[in-house]
Structure 1
Amino acid sequence: MRLFGPLLAWASLSLAAAPAAAQADARPTPEQVAQAESYFNAGAQAYEAGQYQVAAEAFLEAHERVPSPSLLFSAAQAFRRQHLTEPSPDALRRAIALYREYLRQDPKATRREEAVTALGSLVPLEARLPGEGAEAAGGEGATAPGGGTAAAARPAAGGTRLLLSSPAEGARVSVDGQPFVAAPLVAPVAPGPHRVRVQAAGHDEEELTVVAVAGELMPRHVVLRVKPAQLRVTGTGGARIAVDGQVRGTVPTAGAIAIEPGVHGVEVSLPGYELFRRELRVTREQAVGLDANLRMTSRRVAAWTVLGVGAAGAVATGVLGGLALASQSEAVELRDRKDAGSLTPSERDRYNAAVDARGGLGAAAAVAGGVSLLAAAVGFGLFAFDEPKGLGVAPPAAPPPKDPGVNAEFTVGVFSAGVRGRF
């Protein structure tokens, strides 16, 4: 038998809304959608791991809860792969039955050509099986008594089992304290609750309880939380630290700032200082350090300069004002003496000089005071409007992820439920 090349198929399901009165009972319940999602995700990982028999069973379980011809196609693909890997009459018959049911349920199927091609290669093999008669080699409508084509293609009951999977790379699973083994894991168990632990490098371990139902394959697709990277920032004290536009702390950081793996924009800002901005690409559990020594802005330098001028003006105003008051005091004293009697020529000169000095020093003090107030106003204005332009930067666009080989997604809408995957 010729081995098919790498298969890239998209299985899609969409249950469109019909009039509520006619279709209310046909729409899957939220519980059924959640169960179908769990079966589909577990089946997708089993398919990727080469556990095609288990994958087929999981897809058919998903189909029972949220019927979709595309899930029948995915199950047929899994049985075909199972037969190619370990030739089995049972897997061969089930693949053929599911391909036929797929074509019957969806005459305009997008994968019709692939299904017909697969049947063209598989049906002759079925005809060669010992003991096969006309019924086995029949047309597309061949069915099994009492169950239809899809029912005939269902795997035989495999007992009470758990199907445990996780999208985390290198995930390992332990059931009831047994040694960890690679996911996905199909574990025969007794009916009832079981303690499951799932772990993977760079992820937080998850522990949960899964209840096994007698005679059923119970799936659980466990999404582990990735351990974040740890960011520490040193530098100009009191500066604000923002990650992807959200303030996360101040410099120096009291503790590490946890950020999710990926690409992030980090800003460190402080009024009067130039904005510090870096793009970081971090991985899980990575320790990252940033030294953010901020440079003062030219506006802040100008503000300090103008305030310095204002301060000097204030000092000059005080000195000149004091000298003016001293001259005023001397002039008053000489004037009082003049009123009481007469002044000598030298005292009269001193009086005139004191009056002149008082006027000149007072005017100079007034000018210095005005300059000081103006400089202070300008300086404080420069301070007030010297804010860094930051804290609103969106995270940089991450590069598109690499194709993981198997990708599955389950979607639910108000009037529809959907599942799509790539195998």
Structure 2
Amino acid sequence: MLGQTRQRLWVLLAVCLSGLSPRLAAAQDGEAAQTSKTARPTTAAELITVADLAHRLGQYGFAIQALKQAHQTEPEPQKWLAIADAYTQRFLVKGAAYDRLQAITYYDGYLDARPRGPKSEGARRALADLESRDQTVDDEALSKARAAERQKTRLAVTASTMGATVRIDDGRAQKLPLFVFIKPGKHGVVVSAAGYQDHERQLEIAKGFAYGIDAELDPEAAKLSVASTTGAQVHIDGRFVGIAPFDEPIEVEPGKRLLLVTKHGHWPSTQQVTLKRGASHELEVDLTMTGQHLGGILLAAAGGATLFTSVVTGVLSFTNETAAQDSQGTEEGDAALARSEDFRDVSGVTLGVGLGLSLVGGILLVFDEPAVSLSPQGPGQAGATMRVVF
């Protein structure tokens, strides 16, 4: 029991020193060079995330090593409790005396730092249970266990994306989460999932450390092509993206999007479309001309025809007037003069009517701006079809 107590005191001292000075604790292990930031490209937050998952999946060795490294980077007594819990679980599974002793030591450290912490009662109960188990370990066995634990180099890769896989150094794809021992040195890690951009990481792995990668995959953009009335303006979620028809597809963030297609003199088309990650979407939108626009065109056309009539009758009036002057004083000249006056009257009337019709038609065309509804439903909804290509 004296040897066990002495070992507990030494380990507790090392734990306290690691909380006060990570460099001093590392120097005691003879690995000060490995504590530099370049030796740990993964962050404390990543280590804690993967350590939590490792604990839940029974990967207690990785959880312990990752939590210790995270504590060196960001000292926090709460991490001691998590380390103690991991040692306890591994002890309950394997029954190793070293794990029991380490769990007791870290529970002691947590309770010394947080005697009234929110989880202190649970820590005391766990500590009492471990201390009630009479088990000893000699100094040599303890040293070997500590050295073996320190020399292991581990890598964990996780991702919240369903179906994600990882390739290490261009090896075969492996399902996530992945917990492996890895050789020190440079390694390339690529996390992939269908419909998402690859997450790539280059690691320079130092001996005796745990590395955790919690990959956040960005979805691949959807590709959208819109065919519609030439010159129609296309908006997505209120943002102008181009003029139809598109020369080439545009990249759009996947998900549910509100598509708006507008053109002067046509009813706008508004619809909600679901764009899938990495898929190509071909959308055809038929815009319907408004009644006002059609009326404006007809009035303008009628005005143009009437003006043409005015010009023709004006020419006829001038021609007959010339003929009347050439045959002045004759019956034929009088008839030509009468026709000239009739044509002049018709030309004047048609000129006024033509100008009026053209003016009204032009006003209808210029001010034909139908109100745009951002709802995908409504009487102005134009027909549309969409085809998705994977």
Q: Which residues in structure 2 correspond to 1:48-127 (within 5 Å)?
A: 48-83=56-91, 86-106=94-114, 109=117, 112=118, 114-127=119-132
Distance 1:365 1:234, change over 3 A: closer
| Pairing partner for 1:246 from 220, 239, 250 | 239
The corresponding residue for 2:360 is 375
Question: Is the contact between residue 321 and residue 365 of structure 1 (CA under 8 Å) also seen in structure 2?
Answer: no
Q: Which runs of 5+ in 1 are unaligned?
A: 1-28, 133-152, 338-342, 394-423
Corresponding residue number in structure 1 for 2:369 = 386
Residues 17-416 of structure 1 aligned to structure 2 (within 5 Å): 35-83=43-91, 86-106=94-114, 109=117, 112=118, 114-131=119-136, 156-334=149-327, 337=328, 343-344=329-330, 346-347=331-332, 349-350=334-335, 353-354=338-339, 356-357=341-342, 359-382=344-367, 385-386=368-369, 389=372
1:33 and 1:66 in contact (8 A); partners too: no
Question: For structure 2, which runs of at least 5 residues remain unmatched after alignment?
Answer: 1-35, 138-145, 377-390
Any conservation in 1 of the 2:260–2:268 contact (CA below 8 Å)? yes
- Relative contact order, CA 8 A, sep 6+: which one is greater? 1
Contact 1:270/1:387 (8 A) holds in 2: no
Letter of the structure 2 residue corresponding to residue 194 of structure 1: H
Shift of 1:157: 1.0
Distance in 2 (alpha carbons) for counterparts of 1:273 and 1:130: 86
Q: Deviations over 1:146-199 (max 9, x none)?
A: xxxxxxx99931433333333332333333344333333344334321233333
Q: Is the 8 A contact 2:318 2:340 kept in 1?
A: no
With over 3 angstroms needed to count, the CA separation of the structure-2 counterparts of 1:307 and 1:359, relative to structure 1, is closer
* Greater alpha carbon shift after TM alignment, 290-299 vs 243-252: 243-252
Could you tell me which amino acid in structure 2 is paired with residue 225 of structure 1? Answer: D
Residue 96 of structure 1 contacts residue 119 of structure 1 at CA under 8 Å; is this kept in 2? no
Distance 1:117 1:255, change over 3 A: same
Rounded Cα–Cα distance in structure 1 between residues aligned with 2:96 and 2:283: 60
Q: Quick one: structure 1 residues 276 and 181, their matched pair in 2 at CA, closer, same or farther if it must change by over 3 Å?
A: same
Shift of 1:362: 4.4
Question: Is the alpha carbon distance of 1:297 and 1:194 closer, same or farther for their aligned partners in structure 2, counting shifts above 3 Å?
Answer: same
Other structure's SS at 1:67 match: coil
Name the structure with the higher helix share. Answer: 2
TM-score normalised according to structure 2 size = 0.69
Tell me: CA distance 1:116–1:95, structure 2 relative to 1, closer, same or farther (3 Å).
Answer: farther
The superposition leaves residues 185-226 of structure 1 with CA deviations (integer Å, 9 ceiling, x where unpaired) of 344334321233333333344444210113222333333333
> 2:310·2:346 contact (CA, 8 Å) conserved in 1?
no
TM-score (norm 1): 0.64
Aligned-residue RMSD, C-alpha: 3.8
Residue number in structure 2 paired with 1:14 = none
Equivalent position SS for 1:157: helix
Change in CA separation of 1:378 and 1:172 when aligned onto 2, cut-off 3 Å: closer
Give the distance between the partners of 2:95 and 2:273, measured in 1 at CA.
51
Partner of 2:387: none
- Equivalents in 1 of 2:319, 2:50: separation in Å? 96
CA deviation map 1:278-311 (0-9, x unaligned): 2233443445443322222233223223323322
Whether contact under 8 Å (2:304, 2:354) holds in the other structure is: no
Q: Is the 8 A contact 2:265 2:369 kept in 1?
A: yes
